[in-house]
Amino acid sequence: MLPDVLKAAQKLEEEYRLSPEVIDLRTVAPWDVNSVLTSFKKTGVLVIAHKAVRHAGLGAEIAATIYGQALDYVDCEIARVGSRFAPTPFAPELERFVIPGEADVVEVTLKILVR
Protein backbone atom coordinates (compact mmCIF):
# COMPACT_ATOMS: atom_id res chain seq x y z
CA MET A 1 0.00 0.00 0.00
CA LEU A 2 2.88 2.39 0.74
CA PRO A 3 3.96 2.77 -2.92
CA ASP A 4 0.38 3.70 -3.90
CA VAL A 5 0.14 6.19 -1.05
CA LEU A 6 3.47 7.79 -2.00
CA LYS A 7 2.30 8.12 -5.62
CA ALA A 8 -0.97 9.65 -4.41
CA ALA A 9 0.93 12.12 -2.22
CA GLN A 10 3.13 13.10 -5.14
CA LYS A 11 0.08 13.60 -7.37
CA LEU A 12 -1.67 15.70 -4.70
CA GLU A 13 1.44 17.83 -4.39
CA GLU A 14 2.07 18.29 -8.11
CA GLU A 15 -1.48 18.66 -9.40
CA TYR A 16 -3.31 20.20 -6.45
CA ARG A 17 -0.50 22.08 -4.66
CA LEU A 18 -1.12 20.24 -1.39
CA SER A 19 1.65 19.23 1.01
CA PRO A 20 0.71 15.77 2.26
CA GLU A 21 2.71 14.02 4.94
CA VAL A 22 2.96 10.24 4.73
CA ILE A 23 3.48 8.23 7.90
CA ASP A 24 4.27 4.56 7.44
CA LEU A 25 3.27 2.76 10.62
CA ARG A 26 5.86 0.02 10.84
CA THR A 27 4.01 -1.72 13.64
CA VAL A 28 0.36 -1.80 14.59
CA ALA A 29 0.71 -3.01 18.17
CA PRO A 30 1.86 -0.63 19.47
CA TRP A 31 1.36 1.97 16.77
CA ASP A 32 3.11 5.34 16.80
CA VAL A 33 0.36 7.56 18.20
CA ASN A 34 2.72 10.51 18.75
CA SER A 35 3.81 10.74 15.10
CA VAL A 36 0.22 10.66 13.88
CA LEU A 37 -0.92 13.18 16.52
CA THR A 38 1.93 15.57 15.71
CA SER A 39 1.16 15.49 12.00
CA PHE A 40 -2.58 15.79 12.58
CA LYS A 41 -2.19 18.78 14.89
CA LYS A 42 -0.08 20.47 12.22
CA THR A 43 -2.49 19.81 9.32
CA GLY A 44 -5.94 19.17 10.81
CA VAL A 45 -6.44 16.50 8.16
CA LEU A 46 -6.02 12.73 8.34
CA VAL A 47 -6.51 10.11 5.65
CA ILE A 48 -5.86 6.56 6.84
CA ALA A 49 -5.06 4.11 4.05
CA HIS A 50 -4.61 0.37 4.42
CA LYS A 51 -5.34 -2.83 2.52
CA ALA A 52 -7.53 -4.28 5.25
CA VAL A 53 -11.27 -3.76 5.04
CA ARG A 54 -12.48 -0.35 6.26
CA HIS A 55 -15.08 -1.93 8.52
CA ALA A 56 -13.86 -2.30 12.14
CA GLY A 57 -10.19 -2.31 11.20
CA LEU A 58 -7.05 -0.62 12.41
CA GLY A 59 -8.04 2.55 10.56
CA ALA A 60 -11.13 2.87 12.74
CA GLU A 61 -9.00 2.49 15.86
CA ILE A 62 -6.57 5.15 14.66
CA ALA A 63 -9.43 7.53 13.81
CA ALA A 64 -11.07 7.00 17.20
CA THR A 65 -7.79 7.61 19.01
CA ILE A 66 -7.07 10.81 17.10
CA TYR A 67 -10.62 12.10 17.59
CA GLY A 68 -10.30 11.33 21.29
CA GLN A 69 -6.95 13.04 21.76
CA ALA A 70 -7.04 15.92 19.28
CA LEU A 71 -10.67 16.88 18.65
CA ASP A 72 -9.83 20.60 18.81
CA TYR A 73 -7.58 20.22 15.74
CA VAL A 74 -10.16 18.61 13.44
CA ASP A 75 -10.68 20.69 10.26
CA CYS A 76 -12.59 18.02 8.34
CA GLU A 77 -13.63 14.41 8.77
CA ILE A 78 -10.96 11.80 9.31
CA ALA A 79 -11.17 9.64 6.21
CA ARG A 80 -10.34 5.97 5.79
CA VAL A 81 -9.34 4.18 2.61
CA GLY A 82 -9.55 0.41 2.78
CA SER A 83 -10.56 -2.68 0.89
CA ARG A 84 -14.15 -3.44 0.08
CA PHE A 85 -15.95 -5.64 2.58
CA ALA A 86 -15.43 -8.83 0.57
CA PRO A 87 -12.96 -11.70 0.39
CA THR A 88 -9.82 -10.80 -1.55
CA PRO A 89 -10.09 -12.51 -4.94
CA PHE A 90 -7.24 -14.35 -6.64
CA ALA A 91 -7.69 -12.89 -10.12
CA PRO A 92 -5.59 -9.71 -10.53
CA GLU A 93 -8.42 -7.79 -12.24
CA LEU A 94 -10.81 -8.52 -9.37
CA GLU A 95 -8.11 -7.90 -6.77
CA ARG A 96 -7.61 -4.38 -8.16
CA PHE A 97 -11.36 -3.83 -7.73
CA VAL A 98 -11.33 -4.89 -4.06
CA ILE A 99 -8.00 -3.49 -2.82
CA PRO A 100 -7.59 0.32 -2.86
CA GLY A 101 -4.87 2.07 -4.81
CA GLU A 102 -3.44 5.47 -5.66
CA ALA A 103 -6.63 6.79 -7.28
CA ASP A 104 -8.70 5.87 -4.22
CA VAL A 105 -6.36 7.76 -1.88
CA VAL A 106 -6.41 10.85 -4.12
CA GLU A 107 -10.20 10.73 -4.48
CA VAL A 108 -10.90 10.41 -0.76
CA THR A 109 -8.37 13.13 0.12
CA LEU A 110 -9.87 15.60 -2.32
CA LYS A 111 -13.39 14.69 -1.26
CA ILE A 112 -12.81 15.60 2.40
CA LEU A 113 -10.92 18.79 1.55
CA VAL A 114 -13.61 20.14 -0.77
CA ARG A 115 -16.43 19.91 1.79
pLDDT in tens, 14-66: 999 999 999 999 998 999 999 999 999 999 999 999 999 988 889 999 999 99
CATH architecture of 2-110: 3-Layer(aba) Sandwich (3.40)
Residues 4, 6: Cα–Cα separation, whole Å = 5
CA–CA dist 57, 49 (Å, integer): 11
The three-point CA angle 63-68-70 to 5° equals 90
